[in-house]
């Protein structure tokens, strides 16, 4: 399952969540520290995404 990185907009904590695509699309991500739903997904792609290498 994909691992998503988030930063909380309330308390500023960074955390990662392993979500199914359905969970991700439903947007049910809350900050584990303050339970806020005001979380921002970090741009993924450094290590998790395989890009095409021609
Ligand atoms: Zn928080």
Each residue of 4-26: pLDDT tens digit? Answer: 899 999 999 999 988 888 888 88
Average confidence (pLDDT) over 29-39: 94
- For residue 1, the CA-to-ligand 1 centroid distance in Å is 23
Average pLDDT, the chain: 83
Q: Are 37 and 29 in contact (CB under 8 A)?
A: yes
**Distance in Å, CA 14 to ligand 1 centroid:** 8
Q: Is residue 34 part of a domain?
A: yes
Q: How far is the CA of 30 from the centre of ligand 1 (A)?
A: 8
Q: Which domain holds residue 23?
A: 3-41
Is residue 16 in some structural domain? yes
What's the 16 CA to ligand 1 centre distance in angstroms?
Answer: 12
Per-residue pLDDT at 51 exceeds 80: no
In a domain, 46, yes or no: no
Q: Give the residue with greater pLDDT, 47 vs 31.
A: 31
H helices present in the chain, as ranges:
21-26
Q: What is the DSSP string of 26-51?
A: HT----TTT--S-EEEPPP-SSSPPP
37 vs 53, more confident = 37
Please check whether residue 47 lies inside any domain of the structure.
Answer: no
Query: What is the number of structural domains in the chain?
Result: 1
State the distance from the centre of ligand 1 to the C-alpha of 3, rounded, in angstroms: 18
Under the banding of pLDDT at 50, 70 and 90, the label for residue 50 is low
């Amino acid at each position: 399952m994909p691992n998503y990185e988030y930063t909380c907009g309330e308390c500023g904590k960074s955390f990662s969540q392993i979500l199914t695509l359905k969970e991700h699309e439903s947007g049910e991500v809350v900050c584990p520290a303050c339970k806020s739903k005001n979380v921002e997904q970090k741009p993924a792609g450094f290590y998790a995404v395989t890009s095409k290498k021609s």
